[in-house]
A and B are shown apart, each in its own frame.
Chain A
Amino acid sequence: MLSDLTILAGGVLLIVGSFFVLAAAIGVIRLPDLYTRMHAASKAGAVGGGLILIAVALVEQDVAIAMRAILGFIFLLLTTPLAAHLLARSSYFAGYKPCTRTVVDDMSGSPEQNSANK
């Protein structure tokens, strides 16, 4: 009975994680700018992938597989914001400006933007 309940919870988490990944893809299509698309891809994509990994851990019901899935979830949660931040920083210093509807740009007067060797 308890294993049936765990399998049902794993299936529900699989559907919810896939929905989060689909929402991230829709945000990457719909949003107007690189820096807003980065929010959608990084946050919703990391949460969706982590929920799918936890669904694998709940359905298989093995300690080794659960440890591997939780390790993968922690890895995803640590590396996805890092990659998105590095990509946005590189794009800003390479000259990709935010869209015209951006209200405030705190990095417009930074000294690193004008130095040619940073």
Chain B
Amino acid sequence: MTPATFIDWASLIALVMLTLALLLSLTRIVIGPSTSDRVLALDLLTIVVMGFVCAIAIRTGLSLYLDIAIAVALLGFLATIALARYILFQAGKGRGP
């Protein structure tokens, strides 16, 4: 087994597992009883998408995808913080924007 075929198989297995993780996160976003559950599942979903982009970067050999992965991680962090402040403000306990 050469390393190229091993990388092909490993990236394929990783993409299958990440697809399952994305479907489970989307299920929690759909059935989540409260807003906080949906925000938490969205945070996990951004990590899953970052894993997708890194697996495609390994599979194709284009290293430019790594910058996209870092940008997606930053976007997910900022979205989670903004939605947490929105939850606190919606309950009437925050200081507002």
Contacts and interface: CB of A to CB of B under 8 A. Distances in A.
Q: Is the interface of A mostly helix, strand, loop or mixed?
A: helix
B3 A7 contact: yes
A21 B20 CA distance: 10
Interface string A70-100: 0110011001101110110111011110000
Contact of A21 (B48, B58, B77, B84): B48
A105 B34 CA distance: 20
B57 to A, nearest CB: 6
A83 B44 contact: no
A53 B61 CA distance: 14
Interface of B: 3, 6-7, 9-11, 13-14, 17-18, 20-22, 24-25, 27-28, 34, 36-37, 39-41, 43-44, 47-48, 50-51, 54-55, 57-58, 61, 63, 66-67, 69-70, 73-74, 77, 80-81, 83-85, 87-88, 90-93, 95
Nearest to B44: A41
Contacts of B67: 68
B42 to A, nearest CB: 10
B5 to A, nearest CB: 10
Q: Is the interface of B mostly helix, strand, loop or mixed?
A: helix
A90 B67 CA distance: 31
Contacts, number: 178
Contact of A75 (B40, B73, B93): B73
A15 B25 CA distance: 19
Interface string A43-59: 00110110011011001
Given A28-B24, A34-B36, A116 B51 contact: no
Nearest to A41: B44
Of A17, A37, A91, A116, chain B has the most CB atoms within 10 Å of the CB of A91
A8 B3 contact: yes
